[in-house]
Amino acid sequence: MRRWLRERTGGDAGQVTPFAVLLIVALLAVAGLVLDAGLALSQKVRALDIAQAAARAGAQELDLYKYRTSNVAELDPARAASAARTWLASAGADGEATATTTTVTVTVRRTSNTQLLQIVGVRQLSVSATATATAVQGVTGPNT
């Protein structure tokens, strides 16, 4: 019977089953998730590094008049936000910076170009990171 079927259908040599095709596509998708998620995570870490550095740069902009007259470390919000934005620009990063008299908050946005997920139409992954820095006066305890 098998011989008769092979003769009638020309044999099964060189045929690929739909299961094998679906399995290959699924394996490529999983490999794409692993590779491209790792690349996106790397971009997120880089964005966080830039955000933290920019926030620290902004947190150095004290209101010197207030500090000298009353010995209170408060930030000059306009100068602090400007210093953080300048740091972002020097790092070539896209983001925003805001400041109050106590904290500087910086958000950085980056995109990661995909490698394998382009097969399924995903060209870029967007990531963002936010960091906050506070002006602190003196040492108040361990790790502060």
**Each residue of 59-111: pLDDT tens digit?**
999 888 888 888 888 999 999 999 999 999 999 999 999 999 999 999 999 99
Distance CA 65, CA 113 (A): 47
pTM of the model: 0.75
State the sign of the Cα–Cα–Cα–Cα dihedral 12, 18, 19, 21.
positive
- Three-state DSSP class for residue 138: coil
